[in-house]
Chains A and B, each alone.
Chain A
């Protein structure tokens, strides 16, 4: 009986939502929820990799993976590259002078600075110093991250076409400026499946209490993929996952008793007529019950030793802060959550940049460095890819008034800096160069699509082969673009 049911479930789940995938007989969208949660033995064809969950769309990885999990620290608003990473003394020399036409090359500016009567260059008021084995330049704003440069792969030549926040951030999260596509985490959940039974495979952590450009649920949405692949937001506070806690007045005793009776009702139903759908639903309730302890368990950092908390800085004790989220990210990574996305808003410094960016760095610098060190200490850095970056860079010229103590910068898609650490990203590397104005790329451009292709590669996936047929053609994260940037792969 069980045999028959197993087999039927396998076939049924494959067609449950009328979409067909290649290879594995037990895959399917519904199967992502179904098969991965059911107490059934793994299918006969053993996957070649234990990195693939039982309901993955891929039957095997295309390359030997370097990373097993990703922690993406998204700096929303567009951090200013020349004040943090891209050291340009020429801008200080030419402070106040007009941006040369030869540099601008007729670029159409945004309406925010496009009507300025002049575009004076603004040198960074922050000091830069060289750090690490390779004497890498880092600004004084990032004293902690600077100490980790030997672990970082800094890419200075990232570029995008998008000039405003919504399309730009959507581009980074979904591979298209236009809404409707699945996010990176959703693609990975779909392709690789879940390797953790009790936690969602794609978690999202947004820093609490920040202002700045808004975020949208589509940034961790599943687009046209099954909704089971969307990111689950973990929030600070009583209910890390929405609707997680029992309602006030209902103790776990009362709830458990009710759930037992619920299961008894379902079993009566099953006794009458075998229905895989009922079976699946029973499994969901059990998973929900498990999540009611697994989520608070992961969110409870009470058992973390002081010396670990110290790595992240004092904010780590404030739930919902960036530091607290970084620590939570490490705990999720430890439990094999595949893709952990953090969002920290407030980098959009059109004016008051020096003051604004000091705040932002104070909130994030130590935590980033702490996360890397923490992962390293646990021997997790090698197979955890950490990414830091925003949706675009900022202009070399000032938006608004240029004074001795303050300036602003407008959006700049043509070149900006991101870094990666661990998970196969080549440590102690600086890749790509910008011109002396940090305005154009001089060497080795890396487009958003290239960045995506590379991330997938590090996880063992050929970006051209993780596809999904929708509206008559095959889609992928990189759509019809993207080249893997091999020099930054260890």
Chain B
């Protein structure tokens, strides 16, 4: 050790008891040490009085209990306003060491002036934000809901409502929805209902090539929405349709399936999956390590959470295909759905039709059923000759095979379910 600045350590001694004031003075080299009556009382009570021995033990135990308890309490940092607001200055060209004019808390006056009744702190800001005369907040909120449902906001640039952002495609509709939203207690559920019960939403998303060319983003809303689901919804969809999803609301996060060794390689930390129920909760509850987010989520364009992302992309990549084809999460979901099909229905036709319907939300056409049936037959023939393969395939994931179900059929039907999970229609909302 190199020691510490302006000091030294010398003559280190350990004592198994608290030192009294006179003892400390003596050790520090003071010559004129004298014990006051208080000091003597203290020394007597702490060291000599036998009748207090039990109390001393109790005290010690109480101290241990306290520190044990205090250590385990999880502390969360909260923000609090300073009593005296700190002086804040504009920095010239952003340089931390060149302060310019002093400024105080303020807002964009054009939206709504910061009136006297709003305290000049975060509470005041929140009041200003949600004041019914402030046009911006409700617009951002409503647009976000519209974007989630319709695929594109009425304002195309959800992340920018400023002068460089887009204009609303339907300004009167937008104003109406925003006003209505505020007047009805900012009720999100009600707003969602309004949108999905509208005839605009209920339109078919099918359109001609000409229409597609003329309005590729469906700005004019001449057809229903057509957009790839976000990452979390794809996983949730698979879990829900397969019957595996755990509907528990709230509680600590969980760690679902992830390729082994990822955390260890980059961070030397082990990833311990939460088995069974833990791997079947809504994706909302997945543990998110910001420096190494779940790869299956990133592959489907989940935001990496390092910057605010108001609008995600919806790419199509081969890595996504690999996830849907090979991720144990989806294989287990496929097997669960396949098992349900086999248990619920007698004929192959009914079984594959069920799979189509449960994952895609619509009935299969005859030609589609033909292909699914063909798949089942082919895969069954393949698995019938490969007992070992059947075993290993059915061992993926936590879900145990139901004993009533023939294993070859289960394996074959799982592949059919996988096929359905990999259809464009599964990841696209139309």
Which chain A residues border B3 with CB–CB below 8 Å? 116-117
Asked if A22 is at the interface (CB within 8 A of a chain B CB), the reply is no
- Contacting residues of chain A (325-376) with chain B, CB-CB under 8 angstroms: none
User: Could you tell me if B322 and A288 are in contact, using CB atoms closer than 8 angstroms?
Assistant: yes
Asked if A278 is at the interface (CB within 8 A of a chain B CB), the reply is yes
Q: Which of B96-104, B167-175, B343-351, B389-397 contacts A (4 or more CB under 8 A)?
A: B389-397
Question: Of A214, A235, A400, which contacts B2 at CB under 8 A?
Answer: A400
Known: A117-B5, A221-B304. A228 touches B315 (CB 8 A): yes
Known: A15-B216, A214-B267, A265-B371. A258 touches B315 (CB 8 A): no
Instruction: Map CB proximity to A onto B320-335 as digits: 1 under 8 Å, 0 otherwise.
Output: 1111011110010000
Which chain B residues border A268 with CB–CB below 8 Å? 365, 367-368, 371
Question: Of B152, B259, B382, which contacts A243 at CB under 8 A?
Answer: B259
User: Could you tell me if A257 and B375 are in contact, using CB atoms closer than 8 angstroms?
Assistant: yes
Q: What residue of chain B has the Cβ atom nearest to residue A214's Cβ?
A: B267
Q: What residue of chain A has the Cβ atom nearest to residue B323's Cβ?
A: A243
- Contacting residues of chain B (188-228) with chain A, CB-CB under 8 angstroms: 206-207, 209, 212-213, 216-217, 226, 228
User: Could you tell me if B315 and A232 are in contact, using CB atoms closer than 8 angstroms?
Assistant: no
Asked if A465 is at the interface (CB within 8 A of a chain B CB), the reply is no
Q: Which of A29-37, A80-88, A141-149, A446-454 contacts B (4 or more CB under 8 A)?
A: A29-37
User: Could you tell me if B295 and A247 are in contact, using CB atoms closer than 8 angstroms?
Assistant: no
- Contacting residues of chain A (241-298) with chain B, CB-CB under 8 angstroms: 241-251, 253-255, 257-258, 261-262, 264-266, 268-269, 273-274, 276-278, 280-281, 284-285, 287-288, 291
Known: A117-B3, A268-B368, A288-B321. A227 touches B298 (CB 8 A): yes
Which chain A residues border B375 with CB–CB below 8 Å? 257-258, 261
Q: How many residues of B contact A (CB 8 A)?
A: 83
Known: A11-B213, A29-B315, A118-B2. A247 touches B326 (CB 8 A): yes
Known: A117-B3, A253-B382, A261-B371. A11 touches B216 (CB 8 A): yes
Q: What residue of chain B has the Cβ atom nearest to residue A244's Cβ?
A: B322
User: Could you tell me if B394 and A472 are in contact, using CB atoms closer than 8 angstroms?
Assistant: no
Question: Of B228, B304, B307, B319, which contacts A217 at CB under 8 A?
Answer: B304
Asked if A18 is at the interface (CB within 8 A of a chain B CB), the reply is yes
Which chain B residues border A187 with CB–CB below 8 Å? none
Q: What residue of chain A has the Cβ atom nearest to residue B263's Cβ?
A: A214
Q: How far is the CA of A179 from the CA of B314 in the complex (A)?
A: 22
Instruction: Map CB proximity to A onto B262-290 as digits: 1 under 8 Å, 0 otherwise.
Output: 00011110000000000000000000000
User: Could you tell me if A269 and B424 are in contact, using CB atoms closer than 8 angstroms?
Assistant: yes
- Contacting residues of chain B (56-110) with chain A, CB-CB under 8 angstroms: none
Asked if A180 is at the interface (CB within 8 A of a chain B CB), the reply is yes
User: Could you tell me if B327 and A243 are in contact, using CB atoms closer than 8 angstroms?
Assistant: yes
Known: A246-B326, A249-B389. A241 touches B319 (CB 8 A): yes
Q: What residue of chain A has the Cβ atom nearest to residue B258's Cβ?
A: A242
Known: A116-B2, A227-B301, A244-B322. A33 touches B424 (CB 8 A): no
Known: A241-B319, A264-B371, A281-B424. A12 touches B298 (CB 8 A): no
Q: What residue of chain A has the Cβ atom nearest to residue B322's Cβ?
A: A243
A270 to chain B, nearest CB (A): 9
Asked if A239 is at the interface (CB within 8 A of a chain B CB), the reply is yes
Asked if A131 is at the interface (CB within 8 A of a chain B CB), the reply is no
Instruction: Map CB proximity to B onto A386-428 as digits: 1 under 8 Å, 0 otherwise.
Output: 0000000000000011000000000000000000000000000
